[in-house]
Structure 1
Amino acid sequence: GLLEAAATTKIEVARRVKEPKSTTFSTTVGQNFSFDLKDGLLVGEGSENFHLEPFDEVYIRKSPSYHQQQNVMVGGEVLFSGSYALSKKNERLSDLIAKAGGVTPDAYVKGARLIRKMTEEELRRKEDALRMARMGGGDSISVKKLDVSDTYSVGISLEKALLNPGSDYDMVLREGDMLFVPEYVSTVKINGAVMYPNTVLYRKGENLRYYINQAGGFGNDAKKRKAYVVYMNGTVARLKSGNTKAIEPGCEIIVPSKDPKKRMSPAEVIGLGTSTASLATMIATMVNLFK
């Protein structure tokens, strides 16, 4: 019998060309017949007297309008959290929020984030990158820096998506997406190369220097000009010391550290000193010879 996804139209039969008595060359490589199926019987022109022959190939196509349910998740500060099935291919963030009954008064829409599952093609590319990193030399990507998870965060702006439905901000969803709308978070985290990683209250209008001071200042190995911020919605941005609008509630400030310098061992220092002395002696000898 047919599978659930089978189309009952455009059923094709491919037949070999068999002309054992032919004495001329022919460009025909096969015969194709197309029929429809109704009540288990072929219908269409020539179907009344059509019989299968040895080596015939019958092709049953998948119906172009057949789609299995594709589910997405929404949680956090919405009226009805849970799993929802997509009703169309271009369903967007605003459509999902509408299905969930909208957001609650306590929702921090600006901090909403989306977690997406990787497709087979994305997983294949990641496996290729891992394989190259393991086989490569010093210039290849570090294996430790590659994320081995099958999900990743997508930076979204749910606030702008709800204000402008159907715009570029209103991202199209796909199967497996997980949307989370958090509550308002009134703190800011400071991590990385600081004296004391800390979590402090958000103060509107304060710049990077204020929050770094709340963590005891920069560490000795801090890359001060490379500090960046990770927002609740998954987006990342570089930080400038005088920018007071870049830091938002619930974000995390990260200060990267410099690469550790390799110090010379005592034996290496002695060896370098001996080599320098030998080189100086050789130069002095050559100078005396050419006087």
Structure 2
Amino acid sequence: MDSIATVLVLNTDKDLVVENDRFILQPNDVITVRRNPAYIEQQKVTVEGEVYYPGTYVLESKSEHVSSILKRTGGLTALAYSKGIYLIRHTAQDNLEEQAIIQNIQKNIKDTTAKVVEDATKTNFRIPINLDKVLKKPGSIEDYQLLDGDQILVSWIDPLVKVSGQVLSATKTGFIEGKHLNYYLTQAGGTAERARKSKIYVLYADGHIKRVNNGFFGLFRSYPNIETGAQIIVPRKIEKVGMSPTEVIGLTTGIISTLTLIVLTITSLRK
């Protein structure tokens, strides 16, 4: 006989009363209560910033989008910055992704100061929301489908541009339409001696990043446009560490010793 257990399927009512029969439990019995496949726990998102009714919202369906949630908040206030709306989504891969971002900064910008790493990693976990496209085409690819735990932040209109990194004096200055990136660097006293001008980049209010385009061998260099609420970051140059006098003496002594040994060996072979 191959049977190793007896499986009994019991039907119960809403009060967990067994229908039609009664069973007396025996030692080693195992009771399994299956999950109702139709049951779904409430999923919530938060909306912060310049909307009429910020707070926590329960998703009405599995396919609710950004446009729907923004509508439920009553819309954007008069102080809202339409180009400063972004989504933050936390996943189990965040730590790995953050390490990858830091490695990319170290490889491409070569500036690992705490401020640069903090700003770049923080910004990279923002998903920019293009409000114009979201409102024109609800449900489109730009109108992101929301997940439990998502955060939407609607920034206020910041009339300032922040300049930091390798400048003489990190500062905030008023945004002026059409002004070039170099104008804002001038407001910070210009770049410092260790500034790496070819790697300057701009963090925008919605989280996306643009870097200086160096063109052909540094010629025809082009710069990102500046918008209100943006931040200009000037990384530092790679520090080239020279050899100390002790290291130079040690290296020279080693070379001389090696040459002397070669000469003695050749002389010995000729005898």
Give your verdict on TM over 0.5.
yes
Give the conservation status (yes or no) of the 8 Å contact 1:73–1:178. yes
User: Helix, strand or coil: the match of 1:179?
Assistant: strand
**Distance in structure 2 (CA, Å) of the matches to 1:223 and 1:152:** 21
**Distance in structure 2 (CA, Å) of the matches to 1:263 and 1:276:** 19
**Where does residue 256 of structure 1 map in the other structure?**
235
**Where does residue 216 of structure 1 map in the other structure?**
189
Query: Which residues of 2 match residues 270-285 of structure 1 at below 5 A?
Result: 270-275=249-254
* 1:122 pairs with 2:103: no
Give the conservation status (yes or no) of the 8 Å contact 1:208–1:239. no
**Distance in structure 1 (CA, Å) of the matches to 2:153 and 2:40:** 26
> Cα 1:150–1:273, aligned 2, differ >3 Å: closer, same or farther?
closer
* 1:168 pairs with 2:141: yes
**Where does residue 40 of structure 1 map in the other structure?**
16
**Distance in structure 1 (CA, Å) of the matches to 2:157 and 2:30:** 62
**Distance in structure 1 (CA, Å) of the matches to 2:123 and 2:196:** 30
208-217 vs 159-168, which moves further: 208-217
* 1:81 pairs with 2:58: no
**Where does residue 157 of structure 2 map in the other structure?**
184
Gap runs ≥5 in structure 1: 1-21, 134-141
Out of 216, 219, 222, which is 1:242 matched to?
A: 222
**Where does residue 67 of structure 1 map in the other structure?**
40
Gap runs ≥5 in structure 2: 104-111, 214-220
Give the conservation status (yes or no) of the 8 Å contact 1:208–1:242. no
**Where does residue 86 of structure 2 map in the other structure?**
113
Computed over aligned residues only, the root mean square deviation of the Cα atoms, in angstroms, reads 3.9
TM-score, normalised via structure 2 length: 0.72
* 1:153 pairs with 2:125: yes
Give the conservation status (yes or no) of the 8 Å contact 2:85–2:130. yes
* 1:265 pairs with 2:207: no
Tell me which amino acid in the other structure corresponds to 2:222.
Answer: G
For residues 97-153 of structure 1, give each alpha carbon's deviation from its aligned partner in whole angstroms, at most 9, with x where no partner exists.
11111111221121023334x34x336x659x79xx9xxxxxxxx9x8699x99983
Higher relative contact order at CA 8 Å, sep ≥6: structure 1 or structure 2? 2
Shift of 1:287: 9.8
Tell me which amino acid in the other structure corresponds to 2:17.
Answer: L
**Distance in structure 1 (CA, Å) of the matches to 2:118 and 2:4:** 50
Give the conservation status (yes or no) of the 8 Å contact 2:124–2:207. no
Shift of 1:250: 0.6
For residues 227-286 of structure 1, give each alpha carbon's deviation from its aligned partner in whole angstroms, at most 9, with x where no partner exists.
221111122222335245x32211111122223222322322333444556667778889
**Distance in structure 1 (CA, Å) of the matches to 2:134 and 2:212:** 25
User: Helix, strand or coil: the match of 2:156?
Assistant: coil
Instruction: Select the structure of larger CA radius of gyration.
Output: 1
Q: Percent identity?
A: 35
Give the conservation status (yes or no) of the 8 Å contact 2:87–2:150. yes
Report how many residues are paired.
245
